Amino acid sequence: MSDREEPTDEEVVRAASEAAEGLVFSRYAQSEVRDLDVTVTFEDGTLEVDVYLNVPDDDAQERVADEAALAARSAVDELFGE
């Protein structure tokens, strides 16, 4: 195991949130997104990510929200060096 310090809870939440939002806005223009809510908690080593996305006239919004949550988890894994 390396000597580097573990990321703080705040760093974990920020990385996850930024990754989720980044994925959403890589798929949609900001003007297309009516509502986006990314909720991230990291407590006792457990990460919870919930992404709500409202984009008019797009049947793929649920899939994109799921992909955003996965991107958030991947960003946290990278933060921990996994």
Task: State both tokens at 71.
Answer: 């991107």
Higher-confidence residue of 5 and 36: namely: 36
Task: State both tokens at 8.
Answer: 């703080």
Q: For 61-75, what is each residue's pLDDT tens digit?
A: 999 999 999 999 999
| CATH 3.65.10.10 applies to domain 9-79 | no
Task: State both tokens at 52.
Answer: 């709500």
Q: For 28-60, what is each residue's pLDDT tens digit?
A: 999 999 999 999 999 999 999 999 999 988 899
Q: What is the pTM of this model?
A: 0.90
Please answer whether residues 21 and 38 qualify as being in contact, where contact means their C-beta atoms are separated by less than 8 angstroms: yes
Identify the pLDDT of residue 58. Answer: 86
Domain boundaries, the chain: 9-79
Identify the pLDDT of residue 4. Answer: 67
DSSP tag of 56: T
- CA pair distance 14, 8, nearest whole angstrom: 10
Please answer whether residues 20 and 49 qualify as being in contact, where contact means their C-beta atoms are separated by less than 8 angstroms: yes
Token pair 């223009």: residue: 29
